[in-house]
Structure 1
C-alpha cells in the first residue's frame, strides 16, 4: 500500500476584491460586472510559484530540522520562474533536503500537479523512493481587464508520499492524453490565449474527463456511488456537478472549488482541493480528484481520518489568514502589468555572482548558520572563526538551521528613501530563540504593523530580480507571526 502521509497548503495573505477590479474597469469592460463577487488570492510582489511551493512544503513537513527521510522531490507548475534551471533544485535547497535526492520539474499542462502526484505515488510503490515530496505552485499571469484576471488565484499545495501512507491510501489512477487545445501560452512567456468556452466545455471537459475518472474508479475497485468527495477545479460554473451527474457520483460529493474565496490556482488547484478534502474527510471516505488539461488526470484515495496528521495551517488556515486588497493598481504593478517609473534609486545592476551563490547555497537558500560545538554560540553567517566571546575557536561550527526557529524584532526601520516595490521598505535586526540574529527584510506588513518585540516567522521570498538577465534571486525574510501575536494578546487580556 502507498499513500499520503502528510500534506500542506499555502495561499498568499493578500486577497484582491473582485468588486474593486470590475469597478475600476467598468468604463471599458461593463460585461465583467457579473464576476465582481468574492475575492481572489493575490501574491505579494516577492512571491512566485516557487516561493509558495516552499511554504506549502514547510506546512507539510512541519518544523523538524531532520528531513533526511525525503529522497525524491517533484515540483509542478506552468509558471515556474526558470525555463532552463531545475526549479525543484531551488525548492530542495530552501528546504535543506539531502543532496542525494532525485528532483524533477513537471510542467506543460494544467493537470501537471496531479501528474506529479501520480509520479510520486508510482515512484514510492515501485521502490525507487522511500518517501517523496510533491509540491505544486502557481502564479498565473493574465491580461488586465480579462475574465482570467478575475478567475485566477495564486497558491500552492504539497504532499508527502510514503509506502505506509497514514492520512490517505492511494487506490487507483486514470489518465487520458489528447492534444485538445483549450488554451496555450507560447515560450515567449506571454499571456494565455484561450478558445471559446462552450467548445472547451462540451467538446473538451465533458468528453475527456469522464473516461479518466472511470478508469481510476475501475482501478480502485470503487463504485461511483460510493464517492464521498469529488474534487474538480473549473472556472465554468456547475462544471463539477455536471460531471458528477454523468458519472453517477452523488451530487453532495461535489466539493466547493474555492472560487469565491481564492480563485483557481491553475495546476496547483486540483492538489489544493485534495488537501482541503483531506482536512474534512472522515475515516473510510472515498476521495476522487481530477483535473483537465490536454486530456485529464484522476486519482482515487481512501481517507483514514487521522486528525493528528493535519498540518498546522493547511487550506483552512491559509484562507483564514487574509487581508483584503482593494487597490487594483497595486495588483497590476505587482504582476508587471504596468510600466512605471521606479526612480533613480532603483537604477542598479542586480547581477548575481553564481559562484558566490553556489558556495553559500545553504546559507542563502536554506538560511543555515552555525553553532559552535565547544561553546554553543549560534551565529549567522557561519564562519571558520566562532564569534563566541573570549573564545574565538577555529573550525568548530556545525550547520544550524534558522528557518523554523521562533524569532522577534529587536529593532527596525520603515524606509521611504530606498527603492521598494511596496514602500516603505521595512527591515530590521531579527533575534532568534536559542541565539543568533540576522539583519533582514520584513514583508507582508503595512506602515504601523511593525514594532520592537513583534513575533515573526521566516518566509522564503524573492529578494530581487535581475530584469536585464532574467535571473530571480531568493532569500529569507521575516513576516509577522500572527498566531503568536494573537496568543500574546489573549494572555494579556487575561
Structure 2
C-alpha cells in the first residue's frame, strides 16, 4: 500500500468579510499582493518536509488551476526554494482542479514503485466582483509526502474515478476569471457521478458506508457538494466541515487541505474517504496510520480560519481586476536569467555561508569572511527556517509596489547574521523595533512582460508560531 508520511498546509492570513461587500456570510482567505500559487506551495511544502525528515522527495509534483507561468514548469521554483536543487524531478499537473487528483495519483504511484514523492497543490480563486465565484472561493495550499515504507499518517487502500464530458466551468487562455454554467445542471450530473465513485471505492476497500469515520467532499460546485454530503449514507457526524465558511474553497488544494485537517485529529485505524467533484468524480479511501494526530509546528488548519481583514478594494487590486495608480517611479526591470541561475541557492533556497574558522554567518553567501578574512573556508547553510528580530525599519511611500507603502526592515537572525529585506503581511503603522519575524518566500514584483521576481521577505511571527 502507498504510505502518506508527511503533510503541510498553508492558508494566507488575510480574510475578506463577505457581508462587508454584500455577497453572503462568513469570510474567505485572500492571498496577499505578493503571493501566488508558487509561493504558497513553497510555504506548505516547507512545513511538510519539517515532518518528513529525512524523507527527501525524489520528485516534486505541483498542481494548480492558476499557475504563475504557462509554457514553463512552476515546480522547479518550488524545488529550488526547498533546497532540493538538481536532485529531484519537478513536474506540473496544471489547468484544472481535477489535475490535483492526477498529481495525487502520480505521487502515490511513485511511492508504490519505491520512490519518495511530494504533491504540492495550491490555488487562488478569483471571480468577478460580487459573483458566487468571488464569494465561495478561497486561497490556500497543501503538500503531501508519499513513501514506500516507514511510519505513516495514512495508507491509501482504494481509489476510484468516474468521468464524463459536460460543460460545468471553463476559462479560455488569458481570461482572468472562469465562466460557470447554471448550477442545477451541474448538480444533476455531479451527484450521480460522485455516488458511483464512492460506491466503487468502498467496494474495492471492502467497506460499508457505516465503516467510514471521516468523509471529505470537496469541489467548486457548492450545490453538488452539499447534495452529495446528504446522499452519501454515512453516519451522523462523519461528514467533515470543509471550512468554507471561514476560508472558502481553495480549488485544487482544498481536498488535501481538508485531508490534512482530518489527519491532525484522526485516530490510527480510522477510515478516511476523500471525494472530489471536478469534471467527474474521484474517490480515495485511506486508513489512518500510527502518526495520525501527531502535531506539526505552527498553526493547524483549524487555527488558520481566523486572520486580519482585507478590504474588497485592496483584494481587487491584488488580483489585477482593479488598477490603482502606483508610486510615480519607473516599473522595475525583469531579473536577468544568468545571474539568477548562478545565485539560485541564495535567491530561491536562501542558502547562506558560515565560516569554518570563526563561525561567522554571511548573508548573502561569501568567499571571504568579513571577520577573520579566511578565504574559501565556508560551508553552505540553509537559513529559510530561521526567525529573527527587527533591528530597525523604514516606511517607503515612493518605492514601486502594488500595495504601497513598502516597509524595509533590518533583521537580526537568530544564531547570527543580519538581513535587509521587505516586511509583508503587516500594517506599516504597527511595525516596531523588536518585533519577532519569520522568513517567507514571496514575489517581489512582476514585470510588464510577465516575469516574476521571487525572493524572501519576513512577516510577523504569530504567538502560536513562536510558542
**Do Structure 1 and Structure 2 share a fold, with TM-score over 0.5?**
yes
Q: Distance in 2 between matches of 1:304 and 1:289?
A: 16
Matches within 5 A, 1:359-438: 359-387=342-370, 389=371, 391-438=372-419
Matches within 5 A, 1:125-136: 125-127=112-114, 129=115, 131-136=116-121
**Partner SS, residue 424 of structure 2:** coil
Q: Which residue of 2 aligns with 1:190?
A: 176
The alignment status of 1:92 with 2:79, answered yes or no, reads: yes
User: Offset at 1:165?
Assistant: 4.8
Residues 328 and 398 of structure 2 are in contact (CA less than 8 Å); yes or no, is this contact kept in structure 1?
no
The alignment status of 1:48 with 2:36, answered yes or no, reads: yes
Q: Tell me whether 227-236 or 422-431 shows the greater mean CA deviation.
A: 227-236
Q: Which residue of 1 aligns with 2:259?
A: 274
Residues 151 and 289 of structure 2 are in contact (CA less than 8 Å); yes or no, is this contact kept in structure 1?
no
User: Offset at 1:307?
Assistant: 5.5
Q: Distance in 2 between matches of 1:177 and 1:101?
A: 32
**What is the RMSD of the two structures over their aligned residues, measured on CA atoms?**
2.0
Residues 265 and 293 of structure 2 are in contact (CA less than 8 Å); yes or no, is this contact kept in structure 1?
no
C-alpha change, 1:229 and 1:4, in structure 2 (3 Å) is: same
Counterpart of 1:451 (choices 432, 453, 466) is 432
Q: Which residue of 2 aligns with 1:38?
A: 26
C-alpha change, 1:109 and 1:354, in structure 2 (3 Å) is: same
**Partner SS, residue 159 of structure 2:** strand
The alignment status of 1:472 with 2:452, answered yes or no, reads: yes
Residues 459 and 477 of structure 1 are in contact (CA less than 8 Å); yes or no, is this contact kept in structure 2?
yes
Residues 390 and 433 of structure 2 are in contact (CA less than 8 Å); yes or no, is this contact kept in structure 1?
yes
Q: Distance in 2 between matches of 1:215 and 1:473?
A: 46
Residues 227 and 288 of structure 1 are in contact (CA less than 8 Å); yes or no, is this contact kept in structure 2?
yes
C-alpha change, 1:78 and 1:154, in structure 2 (3 Å) is: same
Q: Which residue of 2 aligns with 1:29?
A: none
Q: Which residue of 2 aligns with 1:31?
A: none
Q: Distance in 2 between matches of 1:459 and 1:279?
A: 23
C-alpha change, 1:202 and 1:289, in structure 2 (3 Å) is: same
Residues 156 and 268 of structure 1 are in contact (CA less than 8 Å); yes or no, is this contact kept in structure 2?
yes
TM-score, normalized by length of structure 2?
A: 0.94
Q: Distance in 1 between matches of 2:30 and 2:54?
A: 30
Counterpart of 2:324 (choices 340, 345, 364) is 340
Residues 57 and 158 of structure 1 are in contact (CA less than 8 Å); yes or no, is this contact kept in structure 2?
yes
Q: Which residue of 2 aligns with 1:218?
A: 203
Residues 367 and 376 of structure 2 are in contact (CA less than 8 Å); yes or no, is this contact kept in structure 1?
yes
User: Offset at 1:224?
Assistant: 2.0
Q: Which residue of 2 aligns with 1:201?
A: 187
The alignment status of 1:483 with 2:463, answered yes or no, reads: yes
Counterpart of 1:102 (choices 71, 75, 89) is 89
**Partner SS, residue 395 of structure 1:** coil
Residues 75 and 116 of structure 1 are in contact (CA less than 8 Å); yes or no, is this contact kept in structure 2?
yes
**Partner SS, residue 106 of structure 2:** helix
Q: Which residue of 2 aligns with 1:170?
A: 156
Q: Distance in 1 between matches of 2:94 and 2:260?
A: 20
Q: Which residue of 2 aligns with 1:11?
A: 11
**Partner SS, residue 82 of structure 1:** coil
Q: Tell me whether 242-251 or 254-263 shows the greater mean CA deviation.
A: 242-251
Q: Tell me whether 229-238 or 162-171 shows the greater mean CA deviation.
A: 229-238
Q: Which residue of 2 aligns with 1:21?
A: 21
Q: Distance in 2 between matches of 1:349 and 1:443?
A: 19
Matches within 5 A, 1:78-89: 78-89=65-76
TM-score, normalized by length of structure 1?
A: 0.89
Q: Which residue of 2 aligns with 1:302?
A: 287
Q: Distance in 2 between matches of 1:239 and 1:143?
A: 22
User: Offset at 1:236?
Assistant: 5.2
**Partner SS, residue 281 of structure 1:** coil
Residues 350 and 465 of structure 1 are in contact (CA less than 8 Å); yes or no, is this contact kept in structure 2?
no
Q: Which residue of 1 aligns with 2:300?
A: 314
Cα deviations by residue, 1:427-454 (Å, 9 ceiling, x for unpaired): 1111111111111001011033221121
C-alpha change, 1:451 and 1:151, in structure 2 (3 Å) is: same
Residues 19 and 26 of structure 2 are in contact (CA less than 8 Å); yes or no, is this contact kept in structure 1?
yes
Residues 266 and 293 of structure 2 are in contact (CA less than 8 Å); yes or no, is this contact kept in structure 1?
no
Q: Which residue of 2 aligns with 1:112?
A: 99
Cα deviations by residue, 1:321-355 (Å, 9 ceiling, x for unpaired): x1122x2111111111112221422x234222011
**Partner SS, residue 47 of structure 2:** helix
Provide the aligned length of Structure 1 versus Structure 2. 465
**Partner SS, residue 272 of structure 2:** strand
Q: Distance in 2 between matches of 1:253 and 1:137?
A: 26
Counterpart of 1:248 (choices 233, 246, 259) is 233
Residues 56 and 135 of structure 1 are in contact (CA less than 8 Å); yes or no, is this contact kept in structure 2?
yes
Residues 278 and 303 of structure 1 are in contact (CA less than 8 Å); yes or no, is this contact kept in structure 2?
yes
Gaps spanning 5+ residues in structure 1: where? 23-34, 488-494
Q: Distance in 1 between matches of 2:324 and 2:66?
A: 23
